[in-house]
Amino acid sequence: MSLLAKSLVEKTLNEALSTGADFAELFAEESYSSVLSVMDSKPFSAQVGRQYGAGVRVHFGTEEVYITTNDLSERGLIRAAQTAAGAKPTGTRKAAPVVLGDAAPTTYDGFHQYGQMPWEVDREQKFKFLLGLDQTSRKTSSLVTQTEPRLIEKVQRVMIANSEGLFVEDVRRNFRTFLEVYVEDAGKKETYHKNEWSTTNPVFYDALNGQELAENTTKSALTLLRADFAPAGEFPVVIDQGFGGVIFHEACGHGLETTSVAQDASVFCGKLDQKIADSCVTAIDDGTIAGGWGSLQYDDEGRPTQKTTLIENGILKSYMVDRLGAQKTGYQITGSGRRQNYKFAPTSRMRNTYIAAGNSSLEEMIRDVDLGIYAKDMGGGSVSPGTGDFNFAIQEAYMIRKGQLAEPVKGASLIGRGIETLGRITKVGNNLKLSAGMCGSVSGSIPAAVGQPALLVSKILVGGRAS
């Protein structure tokens, strides 16, 4: 059954166009979310939430109006459409009456392997998995003082229609388990977290090696207990596969979204077809990877997602473009319009963003460094696209001394400037891997994958402790 009747959607869009808007869109949503957690080796909490609402978006030229409501009755939607239409009236209606086609069906493909919904799965089964993580962590080391295993489930049902006749419905599913392990030795405390995820199967944890997840998280926490602080200053850094891709996400990715490019607030503005990175760098943003954490059948403007080559052999080939961004810049839409939920108007955002595999091996890169850092696992980061200043944190790292891995180090942010740092990626590895993350920006927090093979950055500022 559709979230909203087609006739009501058409009526709402027509009302939104009544004062001269050029474009109108309705995004409606009904979502389920659940968070289960374990604490002190016992089930601790279970929260369930349901989101329900819609956003009416209209464009007067390139000016945007966005109105939200929780009232999906005809009265509520028409009132929202009238508020949108009345925000910036330019005269009388210009657009033709909206006629929607039949809703494009949700396809049963790599995006959707329908089975059970999370609310149909026995909660005891979920807690059993989380308690297993806790028990394995505690068995791995007597220094474990606390664990926080969590299971986060989200099912988002959306309906997107616009005045150009687009009408789609979709169901998106995101399931993620986190484990945070606290350890303490002689008054010294540390913590570490890792996660696993699925976009298709709510009982993904059945196929997951929970023992390995718990043991590895605990071992990483123990490594930090014996680690000293990273040094301060500029060093060569080898950044390993997977979440290491946060370097590209922050150093470059956000600056290639028309969110910043269209307002001349990116250091990458006007650099299309120019060399912005070493020729060993090819970077891609792909919303079509089957089962990918950031994959979508339709973006949040209702368009099919695409695979977009951003940088090819160091040359900037494309930005990530949403509808409004395309209107402002003239670039082709890339199916990159995204939003957290109906409370946000969409804007161009990343999906699964990664640096393509190269030819070097991790061992070769480490051998090339006389004194530097091997960043095995990364934390989050941020960027100011207007200045290009970016940063990200290292979670688990080791010194490299004379081409060999040496002692573990901890606690440092790495900082740089986008174009400068891209030019310092001198080797790209052959071990590509993608990892899941949540990306926060003007249209909220969305699932986005980052990825890369191992990279060698010849010089970057390490914010460790100065002696």
Residues 166-225 within binding reach of another protein (CB under 8 A) = 182, 189-191
Would you call 222 helix, strand, or coil by DSSP?
Answer: helix
**Number of helical H runs and strand E runs in the chain:** 9, 22
Nearer to another protein, 100 or 419 (CB): 419
**Interface with another protein (CB under 8 A), residue from 412, 428, 449, 455:** 412
Rounded least distance, CB 106 to another protein, Å: 22
Q: What angle do CA 179, 184, 190 make, to 5 degrees?
A: 55
b/e per residue, 322-355, with b = 16+ CB within 10 A?
bbbbbbbbebebbbbbbbbbbebbbbbbbbbbbb
Residues 124-143 contacting another protein, CB under 8 A: 124, 127
What mask of x and - would describe binding to another protein in positions 84 to 103, judged by CB under 8 A?
---xx---------------
Residues 231-260 contacting another protein, CB under 8 A: 232-234, 260
Rounded least distance, CB 46 to another protein, Å: 4
Q: Which two tokens stand for residue 166?
A: 């687009």
Rounded least distance, CB 379 to another protein, Å: 5
Phi-psi group of 181: left, alpha or beta (phi > 0 → left; psi -120 to 50 → alpha; rest → beta): beta
Between CA 282 and CA 178 the distance in angstroms is 31
Binding of another protein by 272 (CB under 8 A): no
Between CA 73 and CA 71 the distance in angstroms is 6
**Interface with another protein (CB under 8 A), residue from 82, 83, 216, 329:** 83
Rounded least distance, CB 430 to another protein, Å: 28
**Interface with another protein (CB under 8 A), residue from 202, 388, 444, 453:** 388
Rounded least distance, CB 301 to another protein, Å: 17
Would you call 155 helix, strand, or coil by DSSP?
Answer: strand
The burial of 5, by beta-carbon neighbours within 10 Å (0-12 exposed, 13-18 middle, 19 or more buried), is given as exposed
Nearer to another protein, 69 or 140 (CB): 69
Rounded least distance, CB 452 to another protein, Å: 18
Residues 425-444 contacting another protein, CB under 8 A: 442
HEC secondary structure over 405-456: EEEEEECEEEEEEHHHHHCCEEEEECCCEEEEEEEEECCEEEEEEEEECCEE
Nearer to another protein, 242 or 429 (CB): 242
Nearer to another protein, 47 or 92 (CB): 47
Q: Which two tokens stand for residue 387?
A: 């200045």
**Interface with another protein (CB under 8 A), residue from 3, 8, 43, 329:** 43
Nearer to another protein, 1 or 96 (CB): 1
Between CA 250 and CA 264 the distance in angstroms is 18
Nearer to another protein, 109 or 234 (CB): 234
- Residue 426, CA atoms < 13 Å, CB-side half-sphere: 14
- Smallest CA-to-CA distance from 360 within 238, 443, 233 is with 238
Pairing of strands 455-463, 232-239: antiparallel
Binding of another protein by 288 (CB under 8 A): no
Binding of another protein by 20 (CB under 8 A): no
Partnered with residue 446 across adjacent β-strands are: 439
**Interface with another protein (CB under 8 A), residue from 46, 99, 290, 371:** 46
Binding of another protein by 343 (CB under 8 A): yes
Binding of another protein by 274 (CB under 8 A): no
Binding of another protein by 391 (CB under 8 A): yes
**Interface with another protein (CB under 8 A), residue from 4, 329, 389, 423:** 389
